[in-house]
Amino acid sequence: MTGNKLRVILGWKPTMFTKTRQSQIDGKAAGQMEGAGRQKMGRIIFATGNEGKMREIRMIMADMGMEILSMREAGIQVEAEENGRTYEENALIKARAVAAHASARAVAHAPARMAAAHAPARMAAAYTSASAASDRALAGTEADSEAGGLEPAPAGDIVLADDSGLEVDFLNKEPGIYSARYLGEDTPYSIKNAEIIRRLEGVTEEKRSARFVCAIAAVLPDGREITVRATIEGRIGYEEKGSHGFGYDPIFYVPELGKYTAELTEEEKNKISHRGKALRLMKEELKKL
């Protein structure tokens, strides 16, 4: 009996084992990739180097169970031109810039991590068919497209950034999104505060209404983006008061508390501040993931 006849009688086909085995290997590799995608997010990288801001962030986000780093602590040095027209746009500009930089670092270190943690996956990849490789490449391209061309942050990392400002109603909501650059980015806030008080000279108390605004943006590991916004209402005082806080805090008076924000302790400020409110909103959004 010839070899071909024997194969017919036994119902054995040379390609059957190959396809079945290939399917098992591809399935195992896909499972490993899916498992990696489901891994718990482990870090939050906040796009700031401001230590005062980081203290506030860590206090409010402490119960997230994630490591919270400034971008400097994460080894990232990048500057983004904040040319957006809203607080949300500027926050996203910063978050995307840090996420892209973090992603590039992750790609550079990926071979060593993969060799140590995913040796079985590498073996399986050796048997993966060209069509399967093409499918994965296509899927990656589609994911990048859905994320607006932005490479996702390293697996497990969430990048957050904020943009905030002071809006004074009598000054047509100045300085607004330009609060940090008002009178020049390097100008001391004591001078900025004095100028705002000067411009409100003679303005009655009811017309000195103002608010702090904060928008926080998140870029998730899969490229999705989230934005939230919060405010705190108050008035511009007639002089600087208080030694806590920073920026415009010494001239911002909160009527219901009878204090300037620079007179509040960190705990008091975190409960009512625009950034504190926005951080809590963002925390609730992240908990939904």
Just list the catalytic residues: 163
How far apart, in whole angstroms, are the C-alpha atoms of residue 269 and residue 31?
47
Q: Is the peptide bond before 154 cis (omega within 30 degrees of 0)?
A: no
What residues have CB less than 8 Å from 235, skipping those under 6 apart?
A: 205, 208, 209, 210, 252, 253, 255
Question: 3-class DSSP state for residue 39?
Answer: coil
How far apart, in whole angstroms, are the C-alpha atoms of residue 155 and residue 137?
18
Structural element, H or E, at residue 102: helix 87-117
Whether the CB-CB separation of 234 and 251 falls below 8 Å is answered with no
How far apart, in whole angstroms, are the C-alpha atoms of residue 15 and residue 248?
74
CA dihedral 256, 259, 263, 266 (to 10 degrees): 0
